[in-house]
């Protein structure tokens, strides 16, 4: 549920507002993508030499592994995918290995490291061409080939501590003699053993876990879990609070890469990539606050006075107090709702200044992008968004391709908050489905052609200093009617691709 929002500030990416400039930007991006393909083919050729060497030395399994490392299809079946970075620094190749094995492993690592360096230069070029989405996608690829690439790690918010990569927040906690525990969060090093035995530190003394739970079921005494970017309060359990906080941190890192152009202007982005902003700000931004209730009854009781219809909601971000509210649902998974409201929270809290957003027009994208981000998941070791099989996108396909139920983009984008939210459940369902589908289209169509334009539109919409919201047609140089045609094309292609999966 989205409340009437007093909304935030964002820096606006300077994409063009005329067709000629938009075309020049697309041409530059296409050229960078072509260079990326050329680099990949050059790496493939270099690794093939090492695979042939392995075959000559009667090492067929090594040859197969080398070839397989580049055989993965770049496609993610319509999804945006990132792979979580390893925390440990790559160990050196052991000198005790047989000579041939040490040689082929050294060749492969050198080739991959050099390839990563070339990709990093290409990412800088993409940023100079004002395509942050492509730049950060290339950064992710850098880490796949060289997970210890120092400049990329710095840009993604990591610092090296011995043989590990950690966040600045983790480093500050370690200096205070805290350690991270997967069940209990950050604990004083001297408390870990007692927590694992079932004791809890509360009010300056040690008590049983059962006694603490009795006290903290009153939300006024709730557990509080603090991470790098979140402060989660809950009366459910410490373990559940840690689980929610970890999920939000994972989401936060993914979100900041996908929407990098939303949070900094082009000059700031270029400075980061060129190494001009190596020093981290001494002032940390405020943490995002989440209240996670033990039951829906607790959730409703806490919010009913302010929101009379709270019982029909599964979660809420309230811009007035800057808190996201959720509850534990024992019958189902509540993470999609959490990611939906977290999206509202992250966009809103990019700035401390209040502003209403989408009040008179363009409200569809406020809810559409939050619905789109519900699809965030971790699958096969990757973090992904945009799976075409996610229910929101399935509904969007059905409404357009089967029910022929579609509001032309020009009219749909003109709806303000009140018009968008007016009507019964069926009307709202149609609008939310279309908003979800259009968000997927603008994020994925033609390899992400419109992704930076969408991010710039969001930045303009949320900015407290923008006198006029820059529209999707302006930023893309494409007419609303052509966007309608491309959207239908996008959904038909989705339907065909999904049908092929089952054949």
Measured between alpha carbons, how far is 173 from 225 in angstroms, rounded to an integer?
Answer: 13
pLDDT range class, residue 267, cuts 50, 70, 90? confident
Local confidence band at 283 (pLDDT 50, 70, 90 cut-offs) = low
Per DSSP, 358 falls in state: S
Contact by Cβ (8 Å): 158, 170: no
pLDDT at 115: 97
pLDDT score of 19: 61
Cα(401)–Cα(438) distance, integer angstroms: 14
Average pLDDT, the chain: 91
pLDDT at 415 over 80: yes
Residue 436 has pLDDT above 80, yes or no: yes
Question: Which of 12 and 472 is assigned the larger pLDDT?
Answer: 472
State residue 498's pLDDT score: 94
Query: What is the structure's pLDDT at 409?
Result: 98
What pLDDT is recorded for position 20?
Answer: 64
Euclidean distance between CA atoms 260 and 502, whole angstroms: 35
How many CA within 13 A on the CB side of residue 111? Answer: 22
Q: Would you state the pLDDT for residue 10?
A: 29
* Confidence band, pLDDT 50/70/90 cuts, at residue 380: confident
Dist. CA 360–CA 416, nearest whole Å:
4
Angstrom distance (rounded) from CA 288 to CA 428: 29
Q: Is the pLDDT of residue 6 over 70?
A: no
pLDDT over 60 at 198, yes or no: yes
Look at residue 192 and tell me whether its pLDDT is greater than 90. Answer: yes
Of the pLDDT bands very low, low, confident and very high (cuts 50, 70, 90), residue 332 is: confident
pLDDT-based confidence at 263, cuts 50/70/90?
confident
Confidence of residue 503 (pLDDT cuts 50, 70, 90): low
Whole-angstrom distance between the N-terminal and C-terminal Cα of the chain?
Answer: 38
| Average pLDDT value for residue range 216-228 | 97
Which pLDDT value is given to residue 26?
78
Q: Which helix (H) or strand (E) holds 322?
A: none
Determine the average pLDDT of the residues in 316-336. 92
Count other Cβ atoms within 10 Å, centred on residue 370.
24
- 316 forms beta bridges with 325
Q: Report how far residue 341's alpha carbon sits from residue 149's, in angstroms, rounded to the nearest whole number.
A: 34
Count of CA atoms in the C-beta half-sphere (13 A) of 48: 7
Q: Beta 185-188 vs 178-181: how paired, if at all?
A: antiparallel
pLDDT reading at 169 higher than 80: yes
Check whether 338 has a pLDDT greater than 50. yes
For residue 456, what pLDDT is reported?
94
For residues 389 and 379, give the distance between their C-alpha atoms in angstroms, rounded to a whole number.
Answer: 14
Ramachandran category for residue 477: left, alpha or beta (phi over 0 → left; psi -120 to 50 → alpha): left
Give the mean model confidence (pLDDT) for residues 16-42: 81
**pLDDT: is 21 or 326 the higher one?**
326
Q: For 46-67, what is each residue's pLDDT tens digit?
A: 999 999 999 999 999 999 999 9
Of residues 453, 438, 444, the one with CA closest to residue 497? 444
């Amino acid at each position: 549920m989205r409340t009437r929002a007093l909304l935030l500030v964002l820096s606006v990416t300077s994409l063009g507002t005329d067709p000629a400039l938009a075309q020049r930007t697309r041409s530059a991006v296409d050229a960078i993508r072509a260079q990326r393909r050329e680099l990949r083919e050059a790496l493939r050729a270099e690794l093939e030499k090492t695979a042939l060497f392995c075959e000559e030395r009667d090492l067929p399994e090594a040859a197969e592994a080398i070839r397989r490392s580049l055989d993965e299809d770049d496609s993610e079946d319509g999804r945006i995918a990132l792979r979580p970075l390893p925390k440990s620094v790559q160990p050196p190749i052991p000198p005790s290995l047989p000579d041939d094995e040490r040689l082929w492993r050294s060749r492969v690592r050198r080739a991959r490291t050099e390839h990563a360096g070339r990709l990093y230069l290409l990412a800088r070029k993409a940023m100079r061409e004002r395509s942050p989405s492509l730049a950060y996608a290339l950064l992710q690829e850098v880490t796949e080939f060289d997970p210890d690439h120092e400049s990329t790690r710095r840009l993604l918010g990591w610092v090296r501590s011995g043989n590990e990569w950690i966040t600045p927040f983790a480093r500050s906690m370690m200096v205070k003699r805290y350690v991270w525990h997967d069940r209990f969060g950050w604990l004083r090093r001297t408390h870990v053993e007692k927590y694992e035995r079932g004791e809890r530190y509360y009010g300056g003394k040690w008590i049983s876990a059962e006694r603490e739970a009795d006290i903290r079921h009153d939300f006024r005494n709730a557990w509080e879990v603090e991470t790098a970017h979140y402060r989660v309060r809950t009366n459910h359990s410490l373990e559940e609070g840690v689980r929610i906080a970890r999920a939000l941190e994972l989401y936060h890192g993914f979100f900041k890469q996908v929407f990098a152009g939303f949070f900094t202007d082009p000059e700031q982005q270029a400075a980061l990539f060129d190494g001009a902003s190596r020093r981290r700000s001494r002032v940390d931004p405020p943490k995002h606050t989440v209240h996670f209730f033990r039951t829906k009854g607790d959730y409703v009781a806490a919010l009913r006075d302010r929101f009379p219809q709270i019982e029909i909601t599964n979660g809420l971000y309230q811009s007035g107090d800057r808190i996201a509210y959720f509850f534990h649902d024992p019958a189902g998974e509540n993470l999609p709702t959490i990611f939906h409201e977290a999206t509202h929270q992250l966009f809103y809290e990019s700035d401390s200044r209040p502003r209403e957003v989408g009040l008179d027009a363009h409200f569809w994208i406020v809810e559409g992008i939050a619905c789109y981000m519900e699809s965030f998941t971790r699958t096969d070791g990757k973090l992904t968004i945009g799976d075409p099989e996610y229910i929101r996108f399935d509904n969007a396909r059905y409404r357009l391709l089967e029910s022929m139920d579609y509001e032309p983009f020009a009219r749909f984008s003109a709806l303000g908050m009140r018009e968008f939210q007016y009507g019964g459940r069926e009307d709202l369902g149609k609008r939310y489905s279309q908003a979800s589908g259009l968000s997927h289209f603008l994020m994925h169509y033609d390899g992400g052609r419109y992704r930076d334009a969408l991010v710039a539109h969001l930045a303009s919409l949320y900015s407290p200093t923008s006198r006029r919201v820059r529209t999707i047609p302006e930023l893309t140089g494409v007419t609303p009617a052509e966007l309608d045609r491309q959207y239908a094309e996008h959904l038909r292609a989705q339907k065909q691709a999904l049908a092929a999966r089952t054949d």
